[in-house]
Amino acid sequence: MLAKLVLKDGSVFQGEAFGSATPKSGEVVFNTGMVGYPECFTDPSYAGQIINLTYPLIGNYGVSLFDSNNSPIDSAFESQHIQIEGLIVSEFSRDFSHWDARTNLNDWLRDNDIPAISGIDTRLLTQKLRECGSMLGKIVQVESPDIDFVDPNLSNLVARVSPKVPETFGDGGRKVLLLNCGCKFNIIRSLLQRDVTVKSVPWDWDLSKENFDGVLLSNGPGDPTKCEKAVESVRKLMQMNAPIFGICLGNQLLARAAGAQTYKLKYGHRGQNQPCILVGSKRCFITSQNHGYAVDDKSLPDGWQPWFFNANDGTNEGIRHCSKPFCGVQFHPEASPGPLDASFLFDDFVEKL
């Protein structure tokens, strides 16, 4: 079946449909990773987005099965289901080869009602997104009805992906309260590996009656300005002086709670090879990233300082308080997929508990 990718500026890319036959609209972004498509597609930070993969061949190692008990401890994925709105690839492989694979990419997308399109010049599309910025788009099959463009950033995407009820993992001696704004499973796994108890709570949970040794603010999708209730909760948490560690969206929420501003990047950072420099040093960490917004470090109030910056474009990649145990990073120290250069940050956080 033929399909087309239509961008808000009127550009049309013709290709072949696979996955679901349901047309979908969202924000078109690109990811430069070479591997890790099952982890990327299930990352809640991609909610509302149509992802364009720059690596030319996708699907050759298939897809594993979700755990029957839906446990984030053993799962090979980053959430319970696919989070992206649609997929764009140059070529996808119907055949796969991997010891743990149980199905192919086409069937996995179809079963999760995710449309995809192949045969696209993904290099040209990526160049367009770099020049013009991320833009709205839709994947429409030739035989399907047309749909309107939908801007996911106008809604509170965090409310869509955040859990509805609290859940506790592990039985370690120290307790981490996880403000779950769409947390990747590997963040929870990374904490459990360090022998702590993790209590995950919804993004708008009343934290005033919770007992904890430290707080982790998770990643999540969309515009941090849509999460003012979470920002207010973080602001109250800071008055308790307990350790706080933010990751991705969590870093932005921490910054806004401190009084800083955030802004939308032209096309964001999405991939597994983003170089981040530790401020005040020449030390560089290769990191996994997935975000479209960033902290304006020039707006940080007194008592706060930049912690990391991106070696490619100089944007902020982390903040920390000068005297209190509050810090956050824009990249993903838990990786999955990607390098583990920054995994030591979990050790640093747990040591503060």
Q: Is 27 a catalytic residue?
A: no
Give the integer Cα–Cα distance in Å for 40 and 112: 15
Give the separation between CA 96 and CA 184, rounded to whole angstroms: 26
334 is an active site residue: yes
Q: Token pair for residue 82?
A: 């696919």
| Set 269, 291, 321, 332: catalytic member | 332
The sign of the torsion formed by the CA atoms of 240, 246, 252, 255 equals positive
332 tagged catalytic: yes
Q: Spell out the residues 6+ positions from residue 71 whose beta carbon is closer than 8 angstroms to its own.
A: none
CB 263 within 8 A of CB 318: no
* Rg (alpha carbons) of the chain, rounded to whole number: 20
Q: How far apart are CA 235 and CA 40, in angstroms?
A: 31
Burial zone of 96 (CB within 10 Å; 0-12 exposed, 13-18 middle, 19+ buried): middle
- Specify the amino acid at residue 319: I
Catalytic residue among 248, 276, 317, 321: 248
> Which residues are designated catalytic?
248, 332, 334
